[in-house]
Structure 1
């Protein structure tokens, strides 16, 4: 049974209730001062507390999808699975390998021409050498004859840290939201490439090229667009590509767009921060190189590098988010020819509930700035 399955949660809740009932029922019998009675009371209390904490933890994880599997919870790198076939249109390329498919959670989702399709893939970076699992959402139009000769805009979608790509499907509902926006006439069909920024798990590389380590920025800025464009009907120009993420993924999206406007025309950071974190999860990212540290500081880049192109979307809230002041500073520092937009909620914390309110307008914003052919 998977970590996020309802069965596991039901079992945990059942054990908690049973432990509580057993404690109430057996307590009078264990009221003596003997060693056995004391051990019995301690055992009942411990079992009840453990079952209760497990139930609360599982319920919170199911709501926010901090971890997608038992292996992810315990920090073990997951096997990427058995290769079954190559991605549609991937003739002659070895950089995107499809390992399975899913049906989107939309009406008529079992028919790709109605609901689209979600491919489970492994992306192999030709330059960085990084391999990362990902999900690729293909909209229904991708499978319709009227669109057979057309390319589609693509958006890279990143989770926070230590989230999993599963969060983007279940918790943040990107495919379903994209499908609904198109159906409502608010956005154009787009391909979504969904993955986590942690491409060298469990290390948080903050989407930088670590000296002597993972070349994460190269993977997102160069390898990923090249690989996906070779496997699916996506253009190779900047106007064909956007990138969005939340929290750490938001920082990565803004950083990648800021440094690579020739690759990404539009970048959106939901509840983003603006300077690379440095803590035990990241390790030594810069190896004492101040120039690399400065480059990973978006404010420093805006102040000290010539203005670049591209469009940026940032989000915050007047109450509940800790990034409001830095977000306002970022907005002030963006200069032409770059453009900046914002979503400022009255209230909203650093959580899935807030991001689900921001994703629909963010996808519309990206759609308006990207094109296919």
Structure 2
């Protein structure tokens, strides 16, 4: 039945196109077979695809920032940030370089440098006062073309001045999740409020002493956020009493272990004071453990001691190193 139906359909189709029914000698001409013209393809677009943006504009909502100090390089602002991801509330200070509000830079995104202090840093940060006047140094160096104009973010490190409650920039089980606050909530806050370099290429972190521990640890744990770090005269083994009973978590937050195991594609500059033999040995031994793709430069400050006055002397060098290893202001 299928064969017969197919033959009938074919005969009908041929009759319709005139290929049957003409007799020999007839004047009838075979029907012309026409080939349907192909639909012309659209010409290739002459408009190139848009380039990926290098600038991330503020996403909001805007934070309540107020001036708490005026410097020769502009005001230092402060807010209390309650992190949506961590639930932690803490003070954050902000400095914007003079270029940020210059109309010539209105469409530029700026690199970000987060700064952590030594000691407990509960309710204060030594980068916000004259102890470590990094803002004035950056303003001067950027005017001379020797450093990027950085947005500077200066959070607290702890929520309690009692050393027995040191959080070591980590999510210690049963304690406030300050590690999440630092690595996720603070970058979210920065992106919500300021024009920044898109991606991690313009994001760095630096700290002294305990802040050095924090900067090294955060960069290795979060290489998707930070590209470069400068731990100044730091230590690298967690020793807070709050780790008691949580040894696995303590080791997972140890820069001494992360330096050879994290596989973080991060660049660092680790420093030590030359007058402190113990510190010099500790830092040099830690640097020697670094495993690729992590790279660590080492600088030993001649005659340097573990003092804020000596940390201050290294500000120009550290800003210049960060400038070599991070993207500067970007525009589309």
TM-score bracket for this pair, using the shorter chain length? 0.7 to 0.9
- 1:243 and 2:205 correspond: yes
Q: Distance in 2 between matches of 1:188 and 1:102?
A: 22
Q: Select which of 109, 116, 120 maps to 2:78.
A: 120
In structure 2, what is the equivalent of residue 300 of structure 1?
A: 257
Query: TM-score normalised to the size of structure 1?
Result: 0.68
Cα distance, 1:146 vs structure 2: 0.8
- 1:98 and 2:65 correspond: yes
In structure 2, what is the equivalent of residue 190 of structure 1?
A: 150
Cα distance, 1:182 vs structure 2: 1.2
Point out the structure with max Rg over C-alpha: 2
Cα distance, 1:201 vs structure 2: 4.8
Q: Distance in 2 between matches of 1:159 and 1:166?
A: 6
Residues 36-95 of structure 1 deviation map (CA, whole Å, 9 limit, x = unaligned):
xxxxxxxxxxxxxxxxxxxxxxxxxxxxxxxxxxxxxxxxxxxxxxxxxxxxx867416x
In structure 2, what is the equivalent of residue 144 of structure 1?
A: 102
- 1:130 and 2:88 correspond: yes
- Unpaired stretches in structure 2, ≥5 consecutive residues: 1-56
Change (3 A) 1:210 1:150: same
Cα distance, 1:290 vs structure 2: 2.2
CA contact under 8 A between 1:240 and 1:265: conserved in structure 2? yes
Aligned Cα RMSD in Å? Answer: 2.0
Q: Higher helix fraction: Structure 1 or Structure 2?
A: 1
Q: SS in structure 2 opposite 1:322?
A: helix
Matches within 5 A, 1:55-66: none
CA contact under 8 A between 1:245 and 1:268: conserved in structure 2? yes
Q: SS in structure 1 opposite 2:272?
A: strand
Matches within 5 A, 1:229-308: 229-278=191-240, 283-285=241-243, 287-303=244-260, 305-308=261-264
In structure 2, what is the equivalent of residue 159 of structure 1?
A: 117
In structure 2, what is the equivalent of residue 329 of structure 1?
A: 285
- Unpaired stretches in structure 1, ≥5 consecutive residues: 1-88, 107-114
Residues 92-134 of structure 1 deviation map (CA, whole Å, 9 limit, x = unaligned):
416x321335322x2xxxxxxxx44321222221101112112
Cα distance, 1:299 vs structure 2: 2.0
Q: Distance in 2 between matches of 1:171 and 1:321?
A: 25
Q: Distance in 1 between matches of 2:204 and 2:286?
A: 19
CA contact under 8 A between 1:302 and 1:334: conserved in structure 2? yes
CA contact under 8 A between 1:161 and 1:204: conserved in structure 2? no
Q: Distance in 1 between matches of 2:191 and 2:223?
A: 17
Q: Distance in 1 between matches of 2:101 and 2:275?
A: 43
Q: Distance in 1 between matches of 2:310 and 2:277?
A: 10
Q: Distance in 1 between matches of 2:247 and 2:68?
A: 44
Change (3 A) 1:187 1:97: same
- 1:319 and 2:281 correspond: no
